[in-house]
Amino acid sequence: MMTTSDSGPPILCGTECLPPMHQDQDRRPQRHQDQDGTRAKGKPAHRRARERFATFNAFVDFTMQELPRAEVLVWLALFRDTKADGLARTSQADMARRAGVNVGTVKRAVAGLRRRGLLAVVFRGSLRRGPSAYRVRPLTRDYKK
């Protein structure tokens, strides 16, 4: 059963309507500051996000069209798992599960991405040592602007 109010969309009975995310439209985003009031050092989050979008765009615009489907899926899974240190730590079995392919297909895709220069294996994992670590690159070695 739904109820309608004059001020907004219909609301299901027994639920609450959450307030808007920003109460004040003129409110500006706060800058990260240390305790002494000076600006915090390091990259702001929006700059890191911009760099990630630039990396993703470079991959889609210049590299993805040359790759087989399995290599694209593996690259995207690893790019998604990349942390602030630039490494993606995951197992090949987990990549296979998320990409919907066989582990053997993931192994061939990783080998193909390494040959093309789009992926570097930083740490080779195992059952006792944990997941492998990869460094993902968006462009092939022979790409020239």
29 versus 83: the higher-pLDDT residue is 83
Using alpha carbons, list the distances in angstroms from residue 80 to 2, 99, 125: 39, 12, 19
For residue 96, the enclosing domain spans: 68-136
Domain with 111 in it: what CATH number?
Answer: 1.10.10.10
pLDDT for 33-42, tens place per residue? 555 555 555 5
pLDDT of residue 142: 56
pLDDT of residue 121: 93
Which helix (H) or strand (E) is 3 found in, with range? strand 2-3
pLDDT for 75-106, tens place per residue? 999 999 998 888 999 999 999 999 999 999 99
pLDDT of residue 100: 93
How many structural domains compose the chain?
1
Domain presence at residue 28: no
8 versus 119: the higher-pLDDT residue is 119
H helix intervals, the chain: 45-58, 69-81, 92-99, 103-116
**pLDDT over 70 at 5, yes or no:** no
Confidence of residue 47 (pLDDT cuts 50, 70, 90): confident
Q: Can you tell me the distance from the alpha carbon of 113 to that of 63, in angstroms, rounded to the nearest whole number?
A: 11
**pLDDT over 70 at 62, yes or no:** yes
Number of residues in the chain: 145
Domain presence at residue 145: no
What percentage of the chain reaches a pLDDT higher than 70? 66
Q: Are strands 119-123 and 132-136 parallel, antiparallel or unpaired?
A: antiparallel
CB atoms within 10 A of CB 109: 27
Using alpha carbons, list the distances in angstroms from residue 118 to 50, 87, 101: 20, 13, 20
Domain presence at residue 143: no
Domain presence at residue 107: yes
pLDDT of residue 39: 56
Q: Which residue has the tokens 């765009």?
A: 57
Domain presence at residue 87: yes
56 versus 30: the higher-pLDDT residue is 56
